[in-house]
Structure 1
Amino acid sequence: PIVNENDTVSVEQIRFGDNDTLAALVACLVEAELMVILSDIEGLYDANPTKVKGAHLIERVERIDESIMGVAGDAGSVVGSGGMITKIKAARVLMAAGIPMTICLGHAPDAIVHAAFGERIGTRFAASERPHEITPRKLWIALGDSARGALIVDDGAKNALLHRGSSLLSVGISRVEGRFNDDDIVDVKDATGHVIARGRTAFSSDEVELACGRTREELERNRLLAAFADKPVIHRDELIAFE
């Protein structure tokens, strides 16, 4: 499929916001083998090439961490409604789904052919060797809605979410950022502030602030917080991990 939101018949109320997000949704739904973004820039640089002389092209990205998100925030395409940061967020979901992505210069001769054959062109985002199951519901959580806040988790909770497929319990939450209601979409961050997951919370920020860090026994003894003892803050079915 060739995805360009500007070619669709739509109204403002149902816009996705940028082609990168829409393309990632389509790529996951059709289980694509590769997604290629044709841009006005050769790929992701370690600094904004229009501002920094000698900025280098990053040819391959194995993991999207704070450094990648940092350079993406200041080095972007000027074409279209999205920027480089939206491309990186799309890549983050695709990598988790096991789908590689390439950003390259659209005017380069045979750009799509080179990308399809895995040849060196632009920036290649490697696919996860252990792809997560990206259901349509999780896909919408990851790409279709903006996070209303964030939950900061400790190392134990981070390991459980990324490597054991666990739900997020209040005991593993260190603190809350922002104000949100139950059923809102929130980011899950590690102690360094890096987003490791996103999910739909079952409780409001006010409730989580009171319950975070407490053990099951402490929650069971508190009538106001007893619900946390039997229900995770974010159930695994409502959460997508990015690593």
Structure 2
Amino acid sequence: MAALTAARRIVIKIGSALLVDRNTGELRRDWLTGLAEDVAWLKQGADVVLVSSGSIALGRGALGLPKTELALEQSQAAAAVGQIRLARAYEEVLGPHGITTAQVLVTLEDSANRRRYLNTRATLETLLGLDAVPIVNENDTVATDEIRFGDNDRLAAQIAATVGADQLILLSDVDGFYSANPAEDPAAQRFDVIEEITPQIEAMAGDACSGLSKGGMKTKLMAAKTATAAGCAMAITEGSVARPLRALENGANATWFTAHLDPQTARKRWIGAMKPKGQVTLDAGAARALMEGRSLLPAGVAKVSGRFGRGEPIAILGPDGHQMGMGLSRYTSTEAAAIRGQRSDRIEEILGYPGRAALVHRDDMVL
């Protein structure tokens, strides 16, 4: 597989069992300090996003809750307390490297709902553009589905797809994907590379063994499907060692799931396959600007048709009425009709609230 240092954008998922000592409930600060050194090393050539579990595990210890399975309201309370400690810990270990951290709490709805997906994507892109490291976690205080059934493997894959990452690294308590549970079957074999997730591969997946983590190989395969479909290669590797990302770069055991498309191509294909909810017709100047790789601004829109919401797909028509492409609108059809033909600096005056400069950003468009 390609080296970590060759990636343009990397998402790293950290599980609870790596961050929190299961016996004491305390943060493994020495390990986290080593991870921070790895992040600083990767940031010399790439954007880095961390998807981190650990809030419930940390809060459980702080509140003196039992190590047994918690009731839903106890899990939510533990998450509320633990999230503050988790964010502070990341700030303390990354700050000495000159790295600004940002806390981003999301739910599954933030990726399922197109409007919220676009807002999440815009926030993460802005943070990365400002050279910050987003620390993403499920908002366990309110996200009951995640607490009951899920884990952050799935979330990490969705974040990797959202930000167009080249690589997703799952730091786990195992060093890859095996043909069977290696703790139970001495003959189990680890896969170095998986080109395609077949039914045979899926049948080999087991469940979580750790007392703190919830994710088993089934959820990791789900994550791999999401990531590779978005053009992002994914690795499962042992994370408990010191400097785990350096270790991976130096040849540590891992299983890589390969992506057959690059992130941008995968995203464009996804947008192009959508059914449009409406359409906008451009003037000649806007049509030329789009062909030069620019975003679609309201000033270049001559006509708005159909009913669509923010984040929904719309057809983009040239001055002659022929379809030029597809895109995700950053405005509703009512808003788009109100600001069509207007300069971006007049959007707030017309709508009565601030808006985005582009009606369709070039990253959300396929021609």
| TM-score, normalization by structure 1 | 0.49
Q: Which has the higher contact order (CA 8 A, sep 6+)?
A: 1
Work out which of the two has the higher radius of gyration on C-alpha atoms and give 1 or 2.
Answer: 2
The structure with more helix, counted as a fraction of residues? 2
